[in-house]
Amino acid sequence: MTSLDTVHAPSAQSLSLEFFPPRDAEGQKRLALTVQALSVMNPAYVSVTFGAGGSTRDGTIETVSALKSLGFEAAPHLSCMGSTQSELKGLLDHYREQGVRRIVALRGDLPSGMGVLSGINALSHANELVALIRQHSGDWFHIEVAAYPEMHPQSSKPTQDMVHFINKVNAGANAAITQYFYNADAYFDFVDRAVKLGVTVPIVPGIMPITNHNQLMRFSEMCGAEVPRWIRLRLAEYGDDRESIRAFGTDVVTEMCQTLLENDAPGLHFYTLNQIEPTLAIWRGLTA
Ligand code: FAD
């Protein structure tokens, strides 16, 4: 249960926070302070990305361990691209020994220029990774997978993308976290379609605070998230006025979170970008 009950949230609605591994010891110290400041949100768990933005596998391992030692339930992201099955099994064993009980299982994206593994050792899609985790570690891990309300950018049709999502659930995923979006209807439509096709696992909206116009447009272009025209126009008009961008972004995202929670989203997963204020400001708005 989280402090979200003040927004008419059923007690099952939970919050989670995502971080990326810092690059050095100084960054680890800063992250510890960030996570502690955000602990006021009483997150059900915190997750740590894998290989994203050039971070290393060891960075994820070290950061998960650091967050666990601060008393948080920490969930590593694990992506199957670029790792052999035996490397993945080794990581699963390591996390199990550390007492990790939750994993975010992904295909991942390879940095350009890196070769794709092929042959019997390679896994090409996240459903295969979920199956490997279940086969190797049984029910030890609670598994989250990714979902794309606005369709994964490499898919050609929403129906096909939904089939691939359902394959991950059928392989043994316990829950899903969505790619971020700024149009709540895309999320509700995705959940409706999934439920009609028999999906019963929670599909938690991924929430990206808006703090930086150019960065948001770049990320969104890469991951296929739509920034609605009216939001783009407002952000463009603010130019370099970062304070106004943040204030506007907080209002827009807080309002969307309110709509999501009032319409029974099972919780919220915040892409914190390792920053305190953008996520905290939204949470304050939700609990005010
Ligand atoms: P999949 O579910 O395998 O899907 C990838 C594509 O393949 C989709 O288009 C799907 O429709 C298609 N597909 C699936 N199965 C088949 C099949 N059998 N045949 C043909 N096509 C198929 N990336 C990182 O590198 N590190 C991270 O830590 C990270 N964390 C993330 C966390 C969340 C919550 C989300 C939403 C994304 C994250 N990503 C991360 C990004 C993610 O790795 C990319 O979006 C990646 O391109 C797809 O990963 P996936 O697990 O969704 O892949």
Residue 3 lies in a domain: no
Computed over every residue of the chain, the mean pLDDT equals: 92
Span 87-140, pLDDT tens digits: 999 999 999 999 999 999 999 986 555 555 555 457 999 999 999 999 999 999
Higher pLDDT, 9 or 93: 93
Write down how long the chain is: 288
Q: How far apart are CA 19 and CA 59, in angstroms?
A: 11
Residue 4: predicted pLDDT: 57
Residues 6+ apart with CB under 8 A from 148: 155, 161, 165, 178, 179, 190, 224
Residue 45 has pLDDT above 70, yes or no: yes
Give CB contacts under 8 A, 24+ apart, made by 275-278. 275/34, 275/209, 275/211, 276/34, 276/37, 276/38, 277/246, 278/209, 278/210, 278/211, 278/246, 278/249, 278/250
Residue 133: predicted pLDDT: 98
Residue 35 lies in a domain: yes
Residue 7 lies in a domain: no
Pocket flag, ligand 1, residue 80 (CB < 6 Å): no
> Is 123 within 8 Å of 80 (Cβ atoms)?
yes
153 CA: nearest ligand 1 atom: 9
Pocket flag, ligand 1, residue 155 (CB < 6 Å): yes
Residue 278: predicted pLDDT: 98
Residue 27's domain is classified under what CATH number? 3.20.20.220
Residue 2 lies in a domain: no
Span 266-281, pLDDT tens digits: 999 999 999 999 999 9
Q: How far apart are CA 246 and CA 235, in angstroms?
A: 10
Nearest CA among 208, 210, 79 for reference residue 146? 79
> Is 182 within 8 Å of 206 (Cβ atoms)?
no
Residue 5 lies in a domain: no
Q: How far apart are CA 101 and CA 142, in angstroms?
A: 6
Kind plus residue range of the DSSP H or E element containing 175: strand 175-180
Name the residue range of residue 219's domain: 13-287
Q: How far apart are CA 245 and CA 282, in angstroms?
A: 14
Residue 81 lies in a domain: yes
277 C-alpha to ligand 1 centroid (Å): 28
Residue 175 has pLDDT above 90, yes or no: yes
Residues known to be catalytic: 18
Span 197-255, pLDDT tens digits: 999 999 999 999 999 999 999 999 999 999 999 999 999 999 999 999 999 999 999 99
CB atoms within 10 A of CB 141: 24
> If pLDDT is split at 50, 70 and 90, which confidence band does 57 have?
confident
Task: Check: pTM over 0.85? Answer yes or no.
Answer: yes
Domain count, the chain: 1
β-sheet bridge partners, residue 271: 18
13 C-alpha to ligand 1 centroid (Å): 25
Residue 253 lies in a domain: yes
147 CA: nearest ligand 1 atom: 36
Q: How far apart are CA 46 and CA 240, in angstroms?
A: 32
273 C-alpha to ligand 1 centroid (Å): 19
Q: Which amino acid is at 271?
A: Y
Residue 197: predicted pLDDT: 98
Mean pLDDT for the stretch of residues 20-28: 93
Span 158-171, pLDDT tens digits: 999 999 999 999 99
Pocket flag, ligand 1, residue 213 (CB < 6 Å): no
Q: How far apart are CA 224 and CA 109, in angstroms?
A: 13
Residue 278 lies in a domain: yes
Q: How far apart are CA 6 and CA 276, in angstroms?
A: 21
